[in-house]
Amino acid sequence: MKFFLDTPNLEQIQEAQSLGIIDGVTTNPSLMAKEGITGKENILNHYIKICELVDGDVSAEVISTEYEGMIEEGEKLAALHPQIVVKVPVTKNGIKAIKYFSTKGIRTNCTLIFAPGQALLAAKAGASYVSPFVGRLDDISHDGLLLVEQIVDAFNYYGFETQVLAASLRSTLHIVRCMEIGTDVVTCPLKPILGLLDHPLTDKGLKQFLDDHNKANTL
Ligand code: G3P
């Protein structure tokens, strides 16, 4: 299972990269704005900085909702760096753009997936990734992880090469459930990933080992 970091924050990306467990980065226009990264040139430069920090795929989202605009923006984003994956919303124009990008060898991440049929169309169009939003479904009392499971099962059944990238993950348990489902990729902030390490018996066991060692060696 691949781990992507869902942030444009360079310090957080650096920290995750130094742990050696990060396979890529996802961003979206809200996250960029929250980090204070504004203006066309700054945004494009920021994507390059992220690509230089991590070894894997970096999702960069188009802002246009029109087909021509998506193509123009997506080609510009893809030309920035070989690690860039163009993030496109699952609209009619988005599906058409994904098809165009797939014929041009430009990789895509189809975003804002909230239903299995949306993922199916994105895969048919040749998306490299589909991003079901788990937390946002949970927020409205729908089972976000059930959606991930439905997509993973369908893609396995039909042999689609499109990878399922579980997004909008909010907790460590979301990650563990995605592992059980067989999700290709999870994306979230660093905190829930580090939560995977936490176990009181590990802390207790380590303390016991060190206490026993110290006792035996100070006699
Ligand atoms: O990757 C999508 C993600 O950024 C959305 O997360 O927490 O805003 O639902 P959230």
Contact 46, 29 (CB under 8 A): no
What angle, rounded to 10 degrees, do the helices at 92-103 and 67-80 form? Answer: 40
Pocket test for ligand 1, best of 7, 12, 26, 28 (most atoms within 8 A of CB): 28
The set of catalytic residues is 87
Pocket test for ligand 1, best of 31, 85, 165 (most atoms within 8 A of CB): 31
Classify residue 136 by burial, with Cβ atoms within 10 Å: 0-12, 13-18, 19+: middle
Contact 95, 66 (CB under 8 A): no
pTM: predicted TM-score of the whole model, two decimal places: 0.96
Of ligand 1's listed atoms, the one at least distance from the Cα of 170 is 7
Question: pLDDT tens across 21-56, in order?
Answer: 999 999 999 999 999 999 999 999 999 999 999 999
Q: What is the pLDDT of residue 219?
A: 64
Classify residue 217 by burial, with Cβ atoms within 10 Å: 0-12, 13-18, 19+: exposed
Question: pLDDT tens across 135-190, in order?
Answer: 999 999 999 999 999 999 999 999 999 999 999 999 999 999 999 999 999 999 99
* C-alpha of residue 136 to centroid of ligand 1, in Å: 8
Q: What is the pLDDT of residue 96?
A: 98
Q: How many CA atoms, within 13 angstroms, populate the side-chain half-sphere of residue 158?
A: 14
